[in-house]
Homo-oligomer: A and B are copies of this chain.
Amino acid sequence: MKIGIMGFGVVGGGVGELIATNAESIKRRSGEEITVGKILDLRDFPDSQYKCFTKDFQDILNDPEIGVVAEVMGGTKPAYEFTKQLLEAGKSVVTSNKELVAKHGTELLKIAKDNNVNYLFEASVGGGIPIIRPLYTSLAANELTDIYGILNGTTNYILTQMIKEGETFENALKGAQENGYAEKDPTADIEGHDTCRKTAILASLAFGKFVDSDEIPCEGITKVTLEDVEYAAKFGAVIKLLGITSRAENGVYAMVCPAILDSSHPLAGIDDVFNGIMVRGEGLGDVMFYGRGAGALPTASAVLSDIIDTVKHKDKHIRLGWSEGQEGYLLDAKTLPSRFYVRLSKTEAAPETFAKKGYDVITLDGEKYKDEFAVVTPEMTGYEFDKLVSVDGELGGYNVLGKIRLVAE
């Protein structure tokens, strides 16, 4: 079986490397020898071990020997058009392209089904962590109720630097860029967009209907301060950026936001660039997946696992259980109850008055903290909380310096 690779960047190069070095175990697992037939990239790679480069997509599309194509070019243009044409031509496509899957997954899966081929995307969430396939295989017998986790290594690295090293957000981001953990333009990571796409993919797959990432409320970590981290620590907690989705009777909830997690929570100890994904099902209880969520070889190994799976399922469409979306299926996350952390400047407000009202009060020692404190509200909906911190609300009279949702176990 020959495969095509579209995009010979970090992940594409990793796929090529793994196919070359793991040939024997791949054959043992798939039952066939897998070789690289053609590689599409506009750049030249004179030093590569591969000599089958092309700059013309048609060369892959029209090569009858190529049965599976790894789309690892990223973005939606031209990946969307290419993928569509390949599937329509009866070739399976496997991808690490979370943007494309989150946006056009429903349509591409339908085209794959209609042409009796496969569109698989294990590498789109969690790098080398096997999370996508378990959702449609091992965990398929469960009525899953919740999936939430740390889905982005860059932001987790930044938060870990703030928590463990006392770095400011700005310095931690700079360090992440210097270490190659963050891109020059880190927007997609730090604003939560990457986590949001992954959350949409997990929700669509786990609960069966497409969830549009554009409709998921999404907040990144740019407003998280070192002060917030220290209040959280005093409260016995850490701040993590979470993608959260849960099933309800009439639809699903989903959101992306920084969250305060008790230190004893299994996700609280997941540091640096690692990812951790918690899956909860009726009967199943909690299952957690943990590992390096990015990187060339982990991601490439996930792509390759999909290639092997398509080779094993020649002429057979693998049912993922991801069907079309539905108006009103994504429910309003602001109706969910939660406790909230709020950092307040100490104007007239006395911490004691809050303690009396059932708030937890957190104070920190030192000159820096003499004019402020933090509270943790009782449980309330997002709407109730908005009202609380609005101009005429209970906290509206004070200067709100920061606010973060608490996520309980």
Contacts and interface: CB of A to CB of B under 8 A. Distances in A.
Residue with the highest number of chain B CB atoms closer than 10 Å, among A136, A300, A305, A318: A305
Interface string A277-290: 00001111111111
A175 interface: no
B269 A283 contact: no
Contacts of A140: 25-26, 29-30, 305, 308
B143 A139 contact: no
A156 to B, nearest CB: 14
A288 B309 CA distance: 22
A129 B141 CA distance: 12
A301 B281 contact: yes
A283 B297 contact: yes
A214 to B, nearest CB: 26
A128 interface: yes
A388 interface: no
Interface in A284-330: 284-292, 295, 297-298, 300-305, 307-309, 312, 316, 318-319, 321
Nearest to A295: B285
Given A287-B128, A290-B288, A141 B298 contact: no
Contacts of A304: 141
A368 interface: no
Interface string A110-152: 0000000000001000001110111011111111000000000
Q: How many copies does the complex hold?
A: 2
B292 A290 contact: no
B141 A305 contact: yes
A138 B143 contact: no
A6 to B, nearest CB: 18
Contacts of A129: 287
Nearest to A122: B138
5 contacts: A26-B141, A128-B283, A128-B285, A137-B137, A284-B297
Interface of A: 14, 18, 21-22, 25-26, 28-31, 122, 128-130, 132-134, 136-143, 208, 266, 269, 281-292, 295, 297-298, 300-305, 307-309, 312, 316, 318-319, 321
Given A25-B140, A130-B139, A288-B291, 12 more contacts: A14-B283, A22-B142, A25-B208, A122-B138, A130-B130, A133-B137, A133-B138, A137-B305, A141-B301, A285-B292, A287-B289, A290-B290
